[in-house]
Amino acid sequence: MEVKDLLYTVEEGIATITLNRPQTLNAITPKMYEDMAQYVEEAKKDSNVNVLIVTGAGRAFCAGANPRALDKERRGQQTTAASSKDIATPPILGEANGHLWVTHAVPKALADFDKPCIAAINGPAAGGGMDLASMCDIRIASDKAKFTMAYIRMGVIPAAGGCFFLPRIVGLANAYELVWTGKTIDAQEALRIGYLNRVVPHDNLMEATRELALRLARGPTVAIRLSKRLIRQCLELDLHGALQATEVAQRIARSTEDSREGPKAWLEKREPIFKGR
């Protein structure tokens, strides 16, 4: 029986993508990036999915790309690479046989994913693995997790949108230091700088993650999805534009059954029963 490098399951409104190469610390391959982007799209279109969890099998979340594979790819591109002085259009980004054009499919898919996405970080997240965690909306980590933007040790830059996501999470100064030094930080330091939402005992990681995921999956999902879109949109707007966008989103939210159920449940002193419509 073939063992899949990625596992995809749906249960109780929660889709889970599990990187399943524990023998390599879940080192990610171009094929895994392709498949993951497809799973994210599947979860987006599935009306039975309200939340997505991304995690790893075994003792690591994701060790990033395999340096041997990168070296082999780079050697194959040396004959076509442009001068290193030309940094405006790096040739590797345009190479159809390179891994980066596939790598970018995942951050693009998650950027368009308007449902909550939670990273359950069960162990080390390095390079592309840390980028993957950064793409998610919320990060819950085991107390055994460690983090490093390891790219600099290979003489390259973050490949999977790390320079976009990381400063939006931890601020410019922390992002610069993590990217430029490639230093490793533990879960408590990642929590201190605001990279993580929560650190939990290793054995409680999936329980804690699913508890939050279930709360979101059973919540007013229209309002949750609208607020996710609005938060991201407001990052690119001034106050006037943000308030206009808020007005549009609020009109949609107030037209739902859930917007009537919430106040009714409050008046009746009971928990609301949201239906996602």
Residue 221 token pair: 């999902």
148 and 189 Cβ atoms separated by less than 8 Å: no
Residue (of 203, 209, 173, 263) closest to 15 by Cα position? 209
- pLDDT over threshold 50, residue 206: yes
- pLDDT over threshold 90, residue 258: no
Mean pLDDT of all residues in 198-224: 95
Stronger pLDDT, 232 or 94, i.e. the higher one: 232
Residue with tokens 């790390």: 162
Residue 249 token pair: 């989103």
**What is the predicted pLDDT for the residue at 95?**
37
Burial 196-210, CB ≥16 within 10 A → b, else e:
beebbeeeebbebbb
Summarize pLDDT for 108-153 with one digit per residue, the tens. 999 999 999 999 999 999 999 999 999 999 999 999 999 999 999 8
Question: Lowest-confidence range among 187-191, 200-204, 273-277?
Answer: 273-277
Percent of the chain with pLDDT over 70: 86
CATH of 6-217, one of 3.40.50.300, 3.90.550.40, 3.90.226.10, 3.30.1370.30: 3.90.226.10
Summarize pLDDT for 71-88 with one digit per residue, the tens. 554 555 444 444 444 433
**What is the predicted pLDDT for the residue at 91?**
33
Q: 221-267 architecture in CATH? A: Orthogonal Bundle (1.10)
Q: What is the DSSP string of 8-31?
A: EEEETTEEEEEE--GGGTT---HH
Give the three-state DSSP class for 246.
Answer: helix
**What is the predicted pLDDT for the residue at 72?**
55
Residue 259 binned pLDDT confidence (cut-offs 50, 70, 90)? confident
R_g (Cα) of the chain, nearest Å:
20
Q: What is the DSSP string of 50-89?
A: -EEEEEESTT-SB--S-HHHHHHHHHHHTTT---TT--SS
Beta bridge partners of 146: 186
- pLDDT over threshold 50, residue 260: yes
What value does the mean pLDDT of the chain take?
87
- DSSP designation for 203: G
Summarize pLDDT for 44-64 with one digit per residue, the tens. 999 999 999 999 999 999 998
Q: What is the pTM of this model?
A: 0.85
**What is the predicted pLDDT for the residue at 266?**
86
- pLDDT over threshold 80, residue 222: yes
Stronger pLDDT, 172 or 102, i.e. the higher one: 172
**What is the predicted pLDDT for the residue at 100?**
56
Summarize pLDDT for 5-43 with one digit per residue, the tens. 999 999 999 999 999 999 999 999 889 999 999 999 999
| Domain extents in the chain | 6-217, 221-267
